Amino acid sequence: MRRMQWAAVVLCAAAIAVNYLDRSTIAIANPEIRKEFNIGAAQFGALQSVWSLCYAFAQIPIGLVVDRLGPRTLLGASLVLWSIAVAAGGLTASFKQLFVARSMLGITESPAYPTAVRVTSNWFQNRDRGVPTGVFNMGANIGTAIAPPLLTALMLLFGWRMMFILMGGVGLLAALVWFWLYRDPDAAELTATDRAYLDANKSKRGGAHVAARQWTRLFRFRTTWAMIFGAFCSGYGIWMYVTWLPGYLEGQHHIGIAQTGFLASIPLVCSIFGAFFGGYASDRLAARGVPIVQARKLPTALGYLGSGLFTALAAYSTTPGPAILWISIAMFLLWFAVAAKWTLITAVSPQDYCASCSSIQNFGSYLGGTCSPFITGLIVDKTGSFVLALALGSVIMIAGAAIYYFLVASPITDADLEASSPRPATA
């Protein structure tokens, strides 16, 4: 079973890596797209914002679909569809067509994280989910870290359009691998001991499908809303860096496009380690007897707080060396928090609702991701600098730390959601 558990986690990480590579195509092609379509920073930011907005609103129903259909079917189909969408971006003839292609990419990529959360909760008991959660989050960091050198090389060799098309082909191959290798626990051959381990995950509902009426009750709890608003702050910081890091190095520090591809990968490599250690730290706290919710939310809050402080230092750096150092530390701590945040969602939600709760949280994250690229671009257009944009991102991430620590409290239980009336607002 250990082999099957970690194969499942690695496959999720690989799918998310492809997901993030495809998202990053627009950031890497930033200067070329702006030049070809004659658009400003704010209009370019709108391309990322529409992706995030579509992704965010697709999150609302997608978790319910994952909880009802299971991750194998949904993630495989999603891989096929988003690969077609990213390749279509390379065939566009106008800014409007590219805008539509990015919208479709946002919708079709939306199942990636909720399915990974459900895979982890299906294969691991609650106390053991921190490290696997950190590992599948590393997929996002790996995809984002290798994107600058890999996609920059493809763009310099073949042009930005062919870069988009080639990445679509990679996604289709990944879909074939997913369908070939991944199996849900119910379809796997396991020993009685292994079955007993996994049976501990089963709720009193016995794995019955989540009804829409029960799903809507999730919005009655303070914990749900705190996760949404905290994730908004998280998403703002993530997509400020993912979308604008190459543009920041080129525009603020006047680094050439070839060097940018390498230098932008340094903070992103740091985020890979941040994701792993965020999951590891939360598991260690749980193993030492810290209550499970506290063990998950403490690393979350500390990570966002530290990331905000180091982002503030980066905002006022006047030379490339210190700026890259502060951003690298900020990205490490940001993803330290993100990994812990994803373990927190399985600590505060029932087993049968974990994909639903994760997608609701992710809705908040991508509302932040919708605002961040556009607001950052608007500030850069108005001020000619990234200083104010980074300072704003710092404040927002520190606010996220406070929300997660002080407002995420009691877990939501099956009994809460099965009841005919909601629990008090303090739940």
Residue type, 144: T
Q: Closest Cα to residue 121, out of 189, 71, 155, 171? A: 71
pTM to 2 decimal places? 0.78
Identify whether the C-beta of residue 167 lies closer than 8 Å to the C-beta of residue 87.
yes
Report the candidate in 404, 232, 393, 407 with the shortest Cα–Cα distance to residue 302: 404
Distance (Å, rounded) from C-alpha 213 to C-alpha 210? 8
Residue 210 makes CB contacts below 8 A (sequence gap 6+) with 64, 67, 68, 352, 353, 356
Q: Half-sphere exposure of 296 toward its Cβ, with a 13 Å CA cutoff?
A: 27
- In eight-state DSSP terms, residue 232 is H
Task: Tell me the C-alpha distance between 227 and 59, whole Å.
Answer: 14
Alpha-carbon gap, residue 145 to 13, rounded angstroms: 14
In this structure, are residues 137 and 279 in contact, taking their beta carbons and an 8 Å threshold? yes
Q: Are 138 and 276 in contact (CB under 8 A)?
A: yes
Structural domains in the chain, sorted by start: 2-418 (1.20.1250.20)
**Cα 266–chain centre separation:** 19
Per-residue pLDDT of the chain (427 residues; tens, 9 = 90+): 888 889 999 999 999 999 989 988 888 888 888 888 888 777 887 887 788 788 888 988 888 888 777 888 889 999 999 999 999 999 998 888 999 999 999 999 999 988 998 898 888 887 888 889 888 888 887 887 788 788 989 999 999 999 999 999 999 999 999 999 998 888 778 888 888 888 776 765 555 566 667 778 888 889 999 999 999 999 999 888 877 887 778 777 667 666 776 787 788 789 889 988 998 999 999 889 899 899 999 999 999 999 999 999 998 888 888 889 999 999 999 999 999 998 898 888 887 788 888 888 888 988 888 788 889 888 988 888 888 999 999 999 999 999 999 999 888 877 777 764 444 444 4
CA 134 to chain centre: 12
Cα–Cα dist 283/359, whole Å: 22
Region for residue 159 given its phi and psi (left: phi exceeds 0; alpha: psi -120 to 50; beta: otherwise): left
Both structure tokens of 79: 């891989």
